[in-house]
Each structure stands twice: as structure tokens, then as C-alpha cells.
Structure 1
Amino acid sequence: MQMKRIYFIRHAEAQSGNGSDFERTLSYAGELCAIKLGEKLRSLGLAPDLIITSSAIRALHTALIIANALDATKRVASLRELYDIGLWDLAKFVRSLDDIRFFECSVNVEKYNAVGLSSEKHRDANAENSAFKSTKIPASISENNAISCNNVEISSTDVVQNFNAAGAECVFIVGHNPTIGGICSLLGEKEIDKFPPCSICGLEFDIHKFSDITDHSGRMVMLQRP
């Protein structure tokens, strides 16, 4: 039987501030933690077929750092819906992955202020983790179950690749608490009481389709907290 693995990741620590919560950037400590997590996942040989992230800056930046470490920057899908999604809607989204296609669109991600590292000294020491300038980020979900580009002007040549999530065996989902921690308890074999920033929980399911996932059916294959 085909196995499906989903790694749920909470974004790394963000800066505090009085501005928009959606636009909060990672703190220096958060950047370091995301880099370390990416290096850890690379050392384990993990190769995600698809990385789905909230489009909030702190989540998107975390996802890009990890994707870069895993040579998976062209497999990132950014969804506004994951920013404030509730637990039951996230569970419904996971079970609907068989029916969703993700389109990669050419977008200048530097306009999000979510690429590169805030510390010039650290960037120089970790140059491989700042190579996000050519990363292509999709946008949000449309009525026909396809992830399409919105809020940007694109031409037909901008759509360079699409992903059918149904064929994915390993998916990363980067989001926010309490939902991202709660989904691990809902779908996993045991309750997770704490899920601080930059935590990751990997669940493995003995299923052929994402729609076959049931509550508490996931075998925990990884749980790492900073």
C-alpha cells in the first residue's frame, strides 16, 4: 500500500511590532532556527514533493529557507487561506489534496520582504540560504480546485510548472498555531501539548489517497521542537 507522509511545521519566531500581523517578519533567532531545521531535514534526506505554506510573511520566509536547504524552492505553494484557517477546515483541506492542482507562477518574491536574511554577517556566512531571488511562488486557490496566480500581472509564459498533489507522497505544510499544532493531535496517534515556533511533526499514513486519512490514523515519524 502506498504511504503518504505529511510534515506539519509551525513558522519560526517572528518579530513583534505594531504593524500588520500578516506582514510580520522573522526575528534573527527565527531565521537561525529555520536554517537549522532546514539543515536537519537535509541531513535526514527528506525530499518533499510539495511545500504548502501560509502566505503570511513569517510562514512564507520559513518555508523558503527550508525549501532552499532541500533544493525544493520550485515546489512551494503559498496560500492566503492557510493564514487564519481553523482546525476542521485544515483537516478538510488535507483530505482534499487529491483534488487540488498547484500552479507555479513567476513572482518577484522580494516585494514580500520575506527573502534573504536580515543580518548581513549571517547572510555572508550562509550564502546558500539567501538564494531566493529567482524563487517562483504561487498564489491562492480558485473555484475550480486549482491554485492560480492573483494580485500579479502574468502572461501564459509565466506558468512554468504545475503540481498534482494527488501524486505526492511527501508534503510539508507550514502554518500557524494553534491550528498547526492541533492538526498533529487530531490526525496523529497521540496528543501534542506544546508546539512552539519552528516545531515540526511528521505523520505517516498507510493510505493510497489523502481523502482516506482518518482522525488519529497517522503514525508519528518525527517530532522536533526547538
Structure 2
Amino acid sequence: MKKLFLIRHAKSSWDSHAQSDIERPLNNRGEQNALMMSKILMKENILPELLLSSPALRALSTAKIFAGQFGIDQETIVIEKSIYEAGIRELSIIVDGIDDRYDSVFLFGHNPGLSAFTNLIGDKFIPEMPTCAIAGLEFNINRWSKVARGAGRLFLFDYPKKHSK
């Protein structure tokens, strides 16, 4: 059994137009949302064995907040350059290459790729993933290379606005 959690980066700052897209940091709300969503997973005893992240600052910062909540050394986050601007094909290649010893993987990335990939490999349609959304998919497989169209059971789709007061 393999579980893949596709996590869109938290809300980022647009304060400085001088920054390139890859250098945009999280804003305060993004930091708070990432902490809240990581706590929700922790409460549900959903723990990662591997964290993969886009090199974009907003995605990597989101991954670091999650790692901190789970007591995972931030240095163990695997930065995968191809997640940045990845579409379905690139995400399929990344997942196919995950070491089979890992059964629970968190992948931090971007739209529109994450939403499209979730809808490709999942058994239910989700709308476009808002910032800091988490799509949890479960696969009845023992090798990541067996992830295929519609093979995953979408058992979790959560995002910060579901928890706003």
C-alpha cells in the first residue's frame, strides 16, 4: 500500500515585483495555513517517510513548516527541480522514480500541475487546488511505478478555507 500526498504550496507574497517567481516567499497567512494543515495531518496520524519539494521558495518553505511539525530534519527534504512548472508528464516521472521503500510520500508543488495530476491518478474529481490544499491518494500497489490513471483512491482533500471560522 502506497500513500501519496500532493500538497500545493501555501499562500505566497506578491509584495516585491523585483523578485522572480521562484523566489517568492510565503506571506504570514501562508505560514499560518501551512502550520494549521500540518497539525491536522499530525492529529490524523498521517506521517511522511519522504518529503519531495519544488525548489521554489514558497513550496520549500511550506515543506519546511510541515517537516518542523513532524519533527523531521529539514535537511532531509529532497528538492526536485522538475516539480517547479511540472505538468502531468513530469509529475508521473517523479512519482515513478520514488524509491519503493517509502510508503508515505509528501510532494510539495504547484498548480495547475498538481490539480491535473490528482485528477488523472485519482478516482474522484477535485476542483483546482487552493493554496496549501492537500490531496491524499492511496494505492493498492507495492511499487511506485504502478501508479496509473484512476488507480488511486482519493481519501483526503483538505484545505485551509474548510477550517475558517
| Preserved contact between residue 41 and residue 70 of structure 1 (Cα < 8 Å) | no
Give the share of equivalent positions with the same residue, in percent: 33
Could you give the per-residue CA deviations for residues 63-114 of structure 1, whole angstroms, max 9, x where no partner exists? 00011101123541112221122221211221222xxxxxxxxxxxxxxxxx
TM-score, normalized by length of structure 2?
Answer: 0.91
Is there any run of 5+ residues in structure 2 with no aligned partner, and where? 161-165
Indicate yes or no: 2:120 matched with 1:81.
no
Tell me the secondary structure at the aligned position of residue 167 of structure 1. Answer: coil
Match of 1:131 in 2: none
Structure 1: distance between partners of 2:76 and 2:152: 24
Task: In structure 2, give the amino acid aligned to 1:77.
Answer: V
Question: 2: CA distance between counterparts of 1:40 and 1:72?
Answer: 16
Task: Give the number of aligned pairs.
Answer: 157
For residue 72 of structure 1, give the secondary structure of its aligned residue in structure 2: coil
Q: What CA deviation, in whole Å up to 9, does each residue of 1:22-58 have, x standing for no partner?
A: 0000011000000101111111112211000001100
SS across alignment from 2:136: strand
Larger Rg: 1
Amino acid at match of 1:192: I
Is 1:208 matched up with 2:142? yes
| Mapping of residues 93-108 of structure 1, within 5 Å | 93-97=94-98
Matched-pair contact (CA < 8 Å) for 2:8–2:130: yes
TM-score, normalization by structure 1:
0.67
Q: What secondary structure sits across from 1:48 in the alignment?
A: coil
In 2: Cα distance, 1:86 partner to 1:199 partner = 17
Which residue is equivalent to 2:125?
A: 191
Distance 1:83 1:89 in 2: 10
> 1:194, CA displacement in angstroms?
2.4
Residues 8 and 184, structure 1, Cα contact 8 Å, conserved in 2:
yes
Aligned pairs for 1:30-45 within 5 A: 30-45=30-45
SS at match of 1:171: strand
